Structure 1
Amino acid sequence: MTKIGKYQVSDGLFLVEIPDAGLQIQCGCPADSVKHLMKRGLIVTKEKDGVIYETGPNVVLLSDVLVQNGSFANLAEFPVLQMLYRQGMILPNHPNNTGIKPMLVGIAEQVEAQIQYIYRGNYGLVSEEEIISTGISPETAHEMMRLKLKFAFGRISPANELLDTCIVESEPVEIRNRVYIRRLRLNVFEIQYKDEKVIIDLNLAPHNSYSAPYPLGFNNIKREYFAVIHSGEGDGWNVNRPCMSSILMFQGKIYLIDAGPNVLYSLTALGIGVNEIEGIFHTHAHDDHIAGFTMLMRSDHRIKYYAAPLVRKSVAKKLSVLMSIPEDNLFDYFQVCDLDIDVWNNIEGLEVKPVFSPHPVETTILIFRSLWEDGYPSYAHFADIVSLKVLKGMITDDESKPGISQEYYDRVKKIYLEECHIKKLDVGGGLIHGDAKDFTQDLSEKIILSHTSDDLTDEQKEIGSGAPFGMVDVLIPTVQNYLHTYARNFLRSYFPTAPSHELSILLNNDMVTFNPHSILIKNGIVTDEIYLLLTGNVERIQSELGIHSFLSAGALIGETSALDSVPCTGTYRAANFVRALRLPRILYFNFVKRNNLYTEIKKLQHKREFLQQTSLFGEVVSYPTQNDLAKAMQLCSYLAGQVLPETLSPDIFMVKCGKLEKFIGNSAVETLRPGFFFGEEIVLFNIKSTYQIRVIEDSDVYQIPGNMLLDIPVVRWKLFETYQKRLEIEVDSAVK
């Protein structure tokens, strides 16, 4: 009979069971991993000695690399919480509280990063000094710290008091009870118990991504003047719904409220591309509201980041230790826009008021409004809050002890019941979430109950509504077509020298809608139409070259084929509902000729096509940005046998043709073929490389200015992801 059971739960996520040793090892830790295990029946509810609890893993094996294909690979916060509280490993008098702690297994730097990230996930800012550094007065900081300590049962405890750790090396090390693990190579491990072994490979294939545990249909959303798209009503444990979140539409612009797990999957289902996002409003730093943060770095522009400095600092503390980068570098991918607490902040006509919310980490609830003919239609997003019963139990007159004052309680209660047109509530219950009963007397026009994994009770249904995924509440309807505005703005940025009347010729064409999974243009076809993508996502596929990328709003599809009457290189397929401006070939060709654009387009065409076929530049990067890069990039030629100088400039070097190799000492650690690049460590961190580049075959290499790439978040993020993976490979080579 087998001693080790191995289950593939989803891409990059496995469960290894060794019953005789009392071990269940979760291998891989992407977002929503607990939900995946629940969905597969690998976490179930049981009862023992009259206590109901969940089963599940007691060990987490971490990925060697923090991110894979754009997503966080190591998010152990919720798995650890599930072990401590839902399994009962930390609860007093619980049958599963046997003294055994959850264990993190992995290479030293990833284990240490997870410990610090879980610590910040538990507490956020951990001292009055840290709170004061965000602009909070000493008196208010003291009040906030008393509240935090009450949630923390009086003490900020180091994460390693709650966790055991095991550092994996190339030689076998014992996890527990004669179960051994060793690292074979990057992200590949061998687990052994007695005479049995299993191999765990946590590497994702190049075009694979971590999947969502729930299916979402496709929605064709009209862009409104002021409206709320309900994009998630679940919590961190709900296996059927995304975590609580909303999307605001204001004057045709798209704003996210929080970015939980699988945010890109949700956006795709809603027909929204990442390049369409104007900004994100952030409530707090728990994983169910932050795990999708990296996906917002896959834009070609810096998305605006709106949060109170208190929240921003808490987020920076958590994500910087998770990503092992300085706090100051975290927001290089965003345009930071701080919000003042307790006042209306005007954002080009959209007003938002953040209000501090009692929670274990720094949190603000958010109220939005906009002026209209009958006043201010408003939307309140209350994630996360705490029940008034729990809050009342924190009241104490002794200001030296953890807790709150009666005055603070009264202030929170008044804010909770502030009348709005639409109010979305956290009703998750327990010690740190809200209770629908507190809003029985709320006079808001519409109350939506959210942030729960349970079905609503009859009592709750009498208080508030539900909101299926993709439902839209319109606060101010639109009477204009924002698609024409998008199209005009894109064309103006593409052709800045063309007169307005010339652009109007192109704009006087049909707006077309493509259904999900329909083909816009097939590979090898000479197209008679060009499409300017306005909303949604389009897949670009060249299977023979292994190219599979996604294009977002602003992409111009089919231009080269139409202008030159040559077969299209690649198939373009709608990933969701796509809206595009259809441009007939003859009309577009004549527009290009009349405005003397053809020579410039042809001059840059070959460089642009090369960029589009690379993994670094082929996704999301817009037409004007590709043109700017094509103008700036220079071709360098090298002969076989050359060794490139160590004092390379802070640029990215991308192989056009030929073959080069990276050497550390006398060992080749990577072969660089067409489309591969090097130099990311100098561009990102201005640090000297630890390797040599040797030319194996005569090679042409494009040199691309690094300072341009730092302003393109999706490219900067891919450079960072590549840097981390290569660093682990180089460390392995140095050890060997």
Structure 2
Amino acid sequence: MREIEGLAFKGIQPIDEVVEMVELSPLESVPTPETATDYRGLRIWKEGINLFGVEYEGERRIIDCNLLPGEEYEPPLRIDVKNVPYKLFQIIDTGEEDGFSPKSCMHTVIQWRERVICIDLPMNVPYLLEKVSISRSEIDAVIFTHNHDDHIGEFSMLLQMDKKVTIICPRVIWKSILLKAVAMFDMSIEELGEYFNYVPIRFGEEFDYCGLKITAQPSIHSVPCAVYQIRGVVDREWKVYGHMSDLLNFERCRSLIEDGFLSADRFEAYRDFVLRPMHVKKIDVGAREGTEAISVHGSWKDFVDDKTEHIVLAHAQPESLDERATVKIGQFAVAGSARNMSERSEHTYGDKYRERALRYLAAYLFALVDDRIAAGLVAREQVLSYMRMLADNEILLIQPHTPFLKAGGQSSFVDMVIGGKGGVWIEQGDSVVRVAHVNAGEIIGDIGVLKQIPRTATIRADTYMHVLRIPGFMFREVVTELGAFSDRPPEGRMESALEKIWRLREIVQDSWLFGAEVPIYLQNKIAQKADPLPTNAGDAVFEDGNSKGHLFIASASADVCMTVGGHVVPAELSHPPVFGEGSFLNGTPEAYRVESNGGRP
């Protein structure tokens, strides 16, 4: 705490002494400028869902924060898509520039054998990952350095995944991140923590993550922060990567020592760690020339005598970085650049793409037939045998922006995505609309193959994509033998797992909440686990505002009537037709009532 106090210009002060708090009138009850909050002539009110009015000095603007159906947020970036092949141990730059840039400065991806590890999750990470042809579903773990927005701005991405991602960092850093996040998500720390597989590590003690050795050292920064040494064995020797974000330059450190905010022993331990020779090291050099005495970032001058083989300069704008730094120290970080820590091009442990195909096939097949295995109708050994048979097919590399399954085309194969990201597109009138994303681990083209009909949608690659191409006859035989699909007429038999997914997935996709931004594998899981709720006109979808652990999706807004305090909410305002989310997430009763109009379940 003394270090943090020393870095503050006027020490640590009560918040009401540095920030003027203005209470904003509840926007739900402020429909006009006349009832709006007025602060020094600035008025703000709400006109609709995510639709706000602002007025100042006679000028009025309406701010619409909604995305149109089928519209996606586009970051203000233009970065070329790169194909970065898998390596045994590889460091990939996915961010560049400084913390004020949308390019997310120090963000880094580590490929370690079959694992994909992110260091921090700054703003626009999904976009930046796509530019190195990695989809969010491929992330296995995240190492966090600290809780500033340029390092955790995309934290919510983890809540959109269907697995618990492993989080690695010291407790003080994880708690500081959770405290910041719960304020945004209106959840308790305990509730939010349930979404992750958090692994606490101690400063100075080496932690083993799947053979990768990770050591955290406390940095000197304005919030609790860690720098890391990460090492693994390749080519019969230890290869070491150092991630030094965010640093404090040595000149500022010495000032803190003189002022009594930092001990000499603490500084020496910190300096020795960040200057430790490594194979590759990424360093924060955000302190501009002449600002070292007031900056809270690192300086390239501190690394002139560093014996590290390859240094990457980050957390700085290229035009503000002294040219001597790129001559005497190392290269400037560029999104898409990668450093292979192994000298071998091939590895005895096998084909990495094939390994991933096996893992994804196992997840797909077992999810389809878990119930049949539990009932004794299918043996696990049978599923494993079919999985290996399907994996023994051709793996293709698809170029970015290439449509490789086209609507109306012959359904002669299915593709399993091994790496990269694409989109599912359908025609609507004279235009085309994206209805879902496809990520690593997803099967595409299955409807056409199993129903023996032409392709119903087009798949277009957004990035470089690796896909396992499975002959249609082979895929059809496997899922039929496992009982996940039946080619018999539907009359007189139970609906198969895949038929249920296809039927309900359209409702899930049309709900907006689970629309185009949600990966298709997650849409499939929701559809597979969903059950229809038959209702009559006037029936409450759920009583007393309590959804009892369920989430409800209407086929369309017109199928239900939503009321608040006895007043009917117009159908266009109750869209998307998803209800009970508050009760579902935290048990809080909903303030509205939803009744069926007696149409579809």
If the TM-score is normalised by the length of the shorter chain, which range does it land in? 0.7 to 0.9
Is the aligned partner of 1:421 residue 2:276?
no
Counterparts in 2 of 1:641-660, with a 5 A limit?
641-644=538-541, 645-646=543-544, 648-656=547-555, 659-660=559-560
In structure 1, what is the Cα distance between the partners aligned to 2:2 and 2:231?
A: 32
Is the aligned partner of 1:698 residue 2:595?
no
Is the aligned partner of 1:378 residue 2:240?
yes
Match of 1:353 in 2: 215
For the Cα contact (< 8 Å) 2:437–2:520, is it kept in 1? no
Match of 2:491 in 1: none
Counterparts in 2 of 1:491-510, with a 5 A limit?
491-496=361-366, 497=380, 498=382, 500-510=384-394
Match of 2:132 in 1: 270
AA aligned to 1:659 is: D
> Higher mean Cα deviation, 541-550 or 519-528?
541-550
AA aligned to 1:537 is: K
Task: State the SS of the aligned residue for 1:566.
Answer: coil
RMSD over aligned CA atoms reads 2.6
Structure 1 residues 602 and 487 mapped into 2: Cα distance closer, same or farther (>3 Å)?
farther
Match of 1:539 in 2: 423
In structure 2, what is the Cα distance between the partners aligned to 1:630 and 1:321?
A: 31
Structure 1 residues 596 and 317 mapped into 2: Cα distance closer, same or farther (>3 Å)?
closer
For the Cα contact (< 8 Å) 1:368–1:378, is it kept in 2? yes
Pick from 445, 467, 486 the counterpart of residue 333 of structure 2: 467
For the Cα contact (< 8 Å) 2:179–2:189, is it kept in 1? yes
Structure 1 residues 404 and 585 mapped into 2: Cα distance closer, same or farther (>3 Å)?
same
> Higher mean Cα deviation, 290-299 or 572-581?
290-299
For the Cα contact (< 8 Å) 1:659–1:674, is it kept in 2? no
User: What is the aligned-residue identity percentage?
Assistant: 24
Task: State the SS of the aligned residue for 2:183.
Answer: helix
For the Cα contact (< 8 Å) 1:147–1:402, is it kept in 2? no
Match of 1:233 in 2: 96
Pick from 544, 550, 569 the counterpart of residue 437 of structure 2: 550
Is the aligned partner of 1:174 residue 2:174?
no
Query: By how many angstroms is 1:676 displaced?
Result: 2.9
Counterparts in 2 of 1:275-314, with a 5 A limit?
275-314=137-176
Query: By how many angstroms is 1:252 displaced?
Result: 2.5
For the Cα contact (< 8 Å) 1:659–1:671, is it kept in 2? no
- Cα deviation code 1:273-330 (max 9, x no counterpart): 1110001000001111110111232222111111110110111122222333222222
- Relative to the length of structure 1, the TM-score reads 0.70
Task: State the SS of the aligned residue for 1:265.
Answer: helix
AA aligned to 1:572 is: I
Task: State the SS of the aligned residue for 2:238.
Answer: coil
Task: State the SS of the aligned residue for 1:432.
Answer: coil
Is the aligned partner of 1:442 residue 2:315?
no
AA aligned to 1:585 is: G
Task: State the SS of the aligned residue for 2:440.
Answer: coil
Query: By how many angstroms is 1:249 displaced?
Result: 0.2
Pick from 377, 386, 409 the counterpart of residue 267 of structure 2: 409
Query: By how many angstroms is 1:548 displaced?
Result: 2.2
Counterparts in 2 of 1:511-550, with a 5 A limit?
511-544=395-428, 548-550=435-437
For the Cα contact (< 8 Å) 1:231–1:246, is it kept in 2? yes
Is the aligned partner of 1:678 residue 2:579?
yes
| Paired residue total | 549
Match of 1:559 in 2: 446
Query: By how many angstroms is 1:229 displaced?
Result: 0.4
AA aligned to 2:251 is: K
For the Cα contact (< 8 Å) 2:421–2:462, is it kept in 1? yes
Match of 2:228 in 1: 366
Structure 1 residues 160 and 211 mapped into 2: Cα distance closer, same or farther (>3 Å)?
farther
> Higher mean Cα deviation, 291-300 or 591-600?
591-600
- Cα deviation code 1:589-617 (max 9, x no counterpart): 23334555433996123321244332455
Pick from 474, 478, 501 the counterpart of residue 591 of structure 1: 478
In structure 1, what is the Cα distance between the partners aligned to 2:96 and 2:125?
A: 13
Structure 1 residues 249 and 631 mapped into 2: Cα distance closer, same or farther (>3 Å)?
closer
Query: By how many angstroms is 1:674 displaced?
Result: 10
- Cα deviation code 1:657-716 (max 9, x no counterpart): 77011112321226399983322222211122222222223231xxxxxxxxxxxxxxxx
AA aligned to 1:598 is: F
AA aligned to 1:197 is: R
AA aligned to 1:642 is: D
For the Cα contact (< 8 Å) 1:237–1:453, is it kept in 2? no
In structure 2, what is the Cα distance between the partners aligned to 1:453 and 1:420?
A: 25
Task: State the SS of the aligned residue for 2:428.
Answer: helix
Query: By how many angstroms is 1:632 displaced?
Result: 4.3
For the Cα contact (< 8 Å) 2:116–2:138, is it kept in 1? yes
Query: By how many angstroms is 1:174 displaced?
Result: 3.2
Structure 1 residues 632 and 259 mapped into 2: Cα distance closer, same or farther (>3 Å)?
closer
Match of 1:636 in 2: 533
For the Cα contact (< 8 Å) 2:417–2:441, is it kept in 1? yes
Pick from 177, 180, 205 the counterpart of residue 343 of structure 1: 205
AA aligned to 1:651 is: H
Match of 1:52 in 2: none
Query: By how many angstroms is 1:506 displaced?
Result: 2.0
AA aligned to 2:537 is: A
Match of 2:505 in 1: 612
Structure 1 residues 361 and 544 mapped into 2: Cα distance closer, same or farther (>3 Å)?
same
- Cα deviation code 1:522-581 (max 9, x no counterpart): 234342121011111121123539662212111110111111112333222111111100
- Cα deviation code 1:67-124 (max 9, x no counterpart): xxxxxxxxxxxxxxxxxxxxxxxxxxxxxxxxxxxxxxxxxxxxxxxxxxxxxxxxxx
Structure 1 residues 499 and 175 mapped into 2: Cα distance closer, same or farther (>3 Å)?
closer
Pick from 55, 75, 78 the counterpart of residue 212 of structure 1: 75
Task: State the SS of the aligned residue for 2:500.
Answer: helix
Match of 2:372 in 1: none
> Higher mean Cα deviation, 241-250 or 566-575?
566-575
Task: State the SS of the aligned residue for 2:415.
Answer: strand
Query: By how many angstroms is 1:419 displaced?
Result: 1.0
Structure 1 residues 179 and 514 mapped into 2: Cα distance closer, same or farther (>3 Å)?
same
AA aligned to 2:267 is: Y
Task: State the SS of the aligned residue for 1:232.
Answer: coil
Query: By how many angstroms is 1:500 displaced?
Result: 4.3
Structure 1 residues 622 and 554 mapped into 2: Cα distance closer, same or farther (>3 Å)?
farther
